[in-house]
Chain A
Amino acid sequence: MKDMWTAIPARGRVILLVLLAALLVAPAALDRYFMSVLILIFYFAFVGQAWNIMMGYAGQLSLGHALYAGLGGYVAALLWFYFGIGPWIGVFAGVAVAAAFGAVIGWLGFRFGIEGVYFALLTIAFAEFTRIAFDNMSFTGGPGGLFLLYEEQRTHEWWNLRGGPLLFYYLGLALAAGGALLTAWLARSRLGYQWLAVREDQEAALSLGVGAFRAKMIAVLISASMTAIGGVFLAFYYNSLFPAQAFDIGRSIEIILAPVIGGLGTIFGPIVGAFILTPLGEALIALTAKFGVDLPGTKAVFYGLTLMIIITLRPDGVWPWLKRLLGLEPKS
C-alpha cells in the first residue's frame, strides 16, 4: 500500500491532501443545494470507477451497468420495504444478486467469445430484459415504482441509511475515495497487469499463460459488485425506484460519462470527469432557468455534445492532459 502513495509525485500528494481536507470540512460551509451536487459527484465518481475497472483496465465494453445498480438498489430496497432489513445488511444481498447476473453475462460473453460491440449488446440485452421483467412484476411495484417511506422521526437512523444530506455526503465521499483506493491497489496487483495484457492483446496474453477468462470474470464480478453498492446508495438517497429509470440504457450511459470524459484506465479519470460534468450540467440548468427557458432535455443535449467533443479531440480524456498541466507527470 505504501508504494501507491510514494508513486504519486510530491506536488500531487499535496494537492490530493488539500482537496481531501477541503471536501471533509466543506459541509460546514455549503448549503443543501451544493451538498446535493457534491453527493451526485461522489456517486458518479464511484460507479464510474466501477465501470472503469471493466472497460478502462480489462477492456470489456459494458453498456448495461444500470442492470447492476438497479438490481443492487431494488434488492436492498425490497428487503427494507418488506422485512425492515437495513441496507447495511441488504447491500450484501444486492451485491450477491448483481454479481450473480454479472457472472452469467461474463460467462456467456467470455466463454462463447462474444467481444467488443457484440458484448456491449449482450449487456444491453440483459439490462433491457430485466427492465421489462421488473415492469411486469407486482411485488416490486411494477412500472409505478417502489417508494421508500421517508419518516421524519427516523432521519437519524444512520444504521438504516435514513438520514439527511450530511450522512449521504460522507458516505458518498467514502465510497468515491474507497473506490479509487481499490482501483489503485488492483491496478498495481498481478491481476491489474493481467487486465492490461488482455486489454491490449488477448492472443498475446493467452500465449504467455495469462488466464484471460479468469481475469475478465474477476473484473466483471468486482465491477458489478461496486456498481450494486452505488445502486443501493442511490436508492436510499432518492427513496424511489422505477424500472424505466433504474434499468434504462440512459442510466448506463450516465455511468460511463465520467470515466470517458476524465480518462479511461486511469485512477483519477472518473473522479475528474465527475467533478467536471456534474457541476457543468447543474450550472446549465440554473442558467437556462434564469433565462426562463425550461426545456426538458437541455442538460442531456449538453452531455451529448461534451461526449462527442471529448471523444473527437481528447479520446484519452481530460485527466492525462490535466496531469501534464499540473506538472504531475512522473519523470522517466
Chain B
Amino acid sequence: MNLAIVLNVVIQGVLTGLMYGLMALGLSVIFGVVRVVNFAHGEFAVVAMYATYLLFVGLGLDPLISLLPIALAFFAIGYFLQITLVNRFVGRSEHEQFILLVGLAIIIVNGLLMIFGPDARPTNLPYSLDSFEIGPLFIDTARVYSAVAALLVSAALFAFFRYTTTGTAIRACADNLTGAGVVGLNVKRLYAVTFGIGLACVGAAGSLMVTIADASPSLAQSFTLLAFTIVIIGGLGSMTGALVGGVLIGVSEAMASFFFAPSMKSMFSFALLVAVLVLRPQGLMGRRA
C-alpha cells in the first residue's frame, strides 16, 4: 500500500469534511439554541446547490461568489420561517417539531423534483479538473478553495457569537432561556436570527457542495442524515465539535470509498453514530449534561 495514495485520500476527506462541517454547524446552532430539530436541513443544502447551479449557468457566477447572496437569502428564509411557523412549535413535544420539519422536507425535495426532474445538474467549473501538485500529492483546486471558504464562514460565525452583542444574547438564550427572558431579551426574535444564521450556514455549505457533487433531489435526505450524524458525533451545541465531526466523517467516508466501495461509505458513518450514541452520548466535544 502506497502511503502517498492513502495521504491523498485523507486530505481529500479532510477538505470535503470541512464543507460537511459548515453544513452541520448550521444544524448545531439551530438545535443548540432553538432546541428544534431541523429535519429539512439537507433539503435546504440541496436548494442552495440548485441556486448556485442556476446562478452559474445563468450569470456565470462562481460558487465562491454566489455563496454570499445565497447565504443572505437563506438567512431571510430562516428568519421568516422561524417567525411564521417554527416559533409556534417551540416548547411543544419533540415529535410534533420533528413532524413539522419532516413535512417541510418532503415538500422541498419533491418540489425540486417537480421543477428540475430527477436528473443531476452538474456545475462544470473551468477549474474543476485542476489540481495542486505537492510532491506525490494531487489536491483538487476546487476542493481547496471550497474548504478554505468553509473555514472562513465558520470563523466569521465564531467571531459573531464571541464578540457581537447579538451573538452573546443568543448564547444567553441557549444557556438559560428563562434568565434571558427575565433580563429583557426578545427571545422570539433572537430565535429567528438563530434560525436564519443556521440556514445561512447550510446555504453557504450548499453553494460549496456543487464542487464535489451534482445537484439532485436524491442528495437531500442523505445530507440531512449526514448533518445529524456529524452534530451528534461532534457533540450537540459545540461549534468546534461540528467542524471536527465533519472532518472525521469526511475522512471516514473517503477511506471507506477507497478501501471498500463508494456505496458503502455511509455504513461506516452510521456505525460511528451508533457507537457514539451508546458510548459517549454527549458527543466527542460535548459537555456532559
Contacts and interface: CB of A to CB of B under 8 A. Distances in A.
Interface of A: 55, 61, 63, 108, 112-114, 116-118, 120-122, 124-126, 128-129, 132-133, 135-136, 249-250, 253, 256, 260, 264, 295-298, 300-301, 303-308, 311-312, 315
Interface string B232-264: 100000000000000000000000000001011
Nearest to A295: B114
Interface size class of B (residues with CB under 8 A): 35 or more
17 contacts: A108-B278, A113-B281, A114-B281, A117-B37, A118-B281, A122-B277, A125-B274, A128-B270, A253-B102, A253-B106, A295-B113, A296-B110, A304-B110, A307-B99, A308-B103, A311-B99, A311-B100
Contacts of B221: 249-250
B106 A132 contact: no
B141 interface: no
Given A118-B277, A303-B106, 16 more contacts: A114-B277, A126-B274, A128-B266, A132-B263, A132-B266, A296-B110, A296-B113, A297-B110, A300-B110, A301-B114, A304-B104, A304-B106, A306-B103, A308-B85, A308-B104, A312-B85
Contacts of B179: none
Contact of A112 (B100, B107, B111, B281): B281
B103 A296 contact: no
A133 B99 contact: no
A253 B101 CA distance: 12
Contacts of B99: 256, 260, 307, 311
Contacts of B96: 311, 315
B287 interface: no
A315 B113 CA distance: 28
A296 to B, nearest CB: 6
A110 to B, nearest CB: 12
A163 B91 CA distance: 50
Contacts of B92: 315
B162 interface: no
Given A61-B95, A116-B94, A253-B106, A297 B273 contact: no
Contacts of B104: 304, 308
B49 interface: no
A116 B232 CA distance: 13
Contacts of B277: 108, 112, 114, 118, 121-122, 125
Contact of B271 (A124, A129, A256, A297): A129
B24 to A, nearest CB: 13
Contacts of B98: 61, 63, 117, 120
Contact of A301 (B94, B110, B271): B110
Interface string B23-50: 0000000000000010000000000000
Residue of B37, B232, B263, B270 with most partner-chain A CB within 10 A = B270
A125 B270 contact: yes
Contact of B274 (A116, A122, A264): A122
A296 B114 contact: yes
Sorted nearest first, the 4 A-B pairs with minimum C-beta distance are: A304-B106, A297-B110, A307-B103, A308-B103
B55 interface: no
Interface string B137-149: 0000000000000
B113 to A, nearest CB: 4
Contacts of B274: 108, 122, 125-126, 129
A146 B181 CA distance: 57
Interface in B270-284: 270-271, 273-274, 277-278, 281
A64 to B, nearest CB: 11
Residue of B89, B104, B273 with most partner-chain A CB within 10 A = B273
A108 B271 CA distance: 13
A122 B266 CA distance: 14
B189 interface: no
B103 A304 contact: yes
A117 B88 contact: no
Contacts of B111: 297, 301
Contacts of A250: 221
A106 to B, nearest CB: 13
Contacts of A63: 98
B118 to A, nearest CB: 7
Given A117-B98, A311-B99, A297 B113 contact: yes
Residue of A122, A125, A129 with most partner-chain B CB within 10 A = A125
Contact of B278 (A114, A304, A315): A114
Nearest to B222: A128
A49 to B, nearest CB: 17
A55 B273 CA distance: 23
B106 A61 contact: no
B205 interface: no
B228 interface: yes
A114 B281 CA distance: 8
A289 to B, nearest CB: 15
Contacts of B159: none
A136 B107 contact: no
Interface in B87-140: 88-89, 92, 94-96, 98-100, 102-107, 109-111, 113-114, 118
A178 B221 CA distance: 34
Given A116-B94, A121-B228, A122-B274, A305 B107 contact: yes
